[in-house]
Chain A
Amino acid sequence: KQEVTQIPAALSVPEGENLVLNCSFTDSAIYNLQWFRQDPGKGLTSLLLIQSSQREQTSGRLNASLDKSSGRSTLYIAASQPGDSATYLCAVPLGNDMRFGAGTRLTVKP
């Protein structure tokens, strides 16, 4: 059974810090892993999608890595800004469903 875990559940950092969010999954037979951002009261915004054949993806200040053999993915945010404050979720496919982590709630203080 696929379980997705995100650590930490919450993180508070001062503006400008580089930070890493962690995502682990129990079944390494995945097609891809997707990172989302969710602002309070809003929908999920896709940030990065890493296919199983890739090791990392980059978009602006975001870099996501994937290590299937160890069942882990990290989302690296460089030079954090208050506008990065949100909940970050990772998800992996599970048949016709997706299995989501519980999310990391990030607060970036000015």
Chain B
Amino acid sequence: NAGVTQTPKFQVLKTGQSMTLQCAQDMNHEYMSWYRQDPGMGLRLIHYSVGAGITDQGEVPNGYNVSRSTTEDFPLRLLSAAPSQTSVYFCASSYSKGEYDNEQFFGPGTRLTVL
């Protein structure tokens, strides 16, 4: 298994540009999520999905969109990039968010800089 994969590894954008961060997992996990990690702020949940076709907002959803058309893929879209979105983005997945089978696996991250 490749686990959780993310592309690209690095990205530089100009203010106002849009882009999509890709995330895929091959573990047949139902639950997928996006976090951003900032110095002094820790990891904060952006959006999550409990299964194909179902998404919801996390703690810091503004400026981001997600969709989940398949179990495997969970892309994160930046609609109009702002310098405040400079961060490291992590995708994570688990079989469930319930009491069992809930171990979280993280991808390697995308380092995004918005100029």
B107, closest chain A residue (CB): A43
CA distance A97 to B36 in the complex (A): 13
Taking a contact as CB atoms closer than 8 A, the residue among A31, A44, A51, A93 that contacts B106 in the complex is A44
How many B residues touch the partner, as a band?
20 to 34
* A contact residues around B26 at 8 Å (CB): none
A103, closest chain B residue (CB): B42
- Given contacts A46-B104, A49-B103, A93 and B97 within 8 Å (CB-CB): yes
Q: List 26 A-B contacts (CB under 8 A).
A: A34-B104, A42-B108, A43-B107, A43-B108, A43-B109, A44-B90, A44-B92, A45-B106, A46-B103, A46-B104, A49-B102, A51-B99, A52-B99, A93-B102, A96-B31, A96-B33, A96-B48, A96-B58, A96-B97, A97-B45, A97-B48, A97-B58, A97-B59, A98-B43, A100-B42, A102-B42
A residues neighboring B (CB under 8 Å): 31-32, 34, 36, 41-46, 49, 51-52, 91, 93, 96-98, 100-102
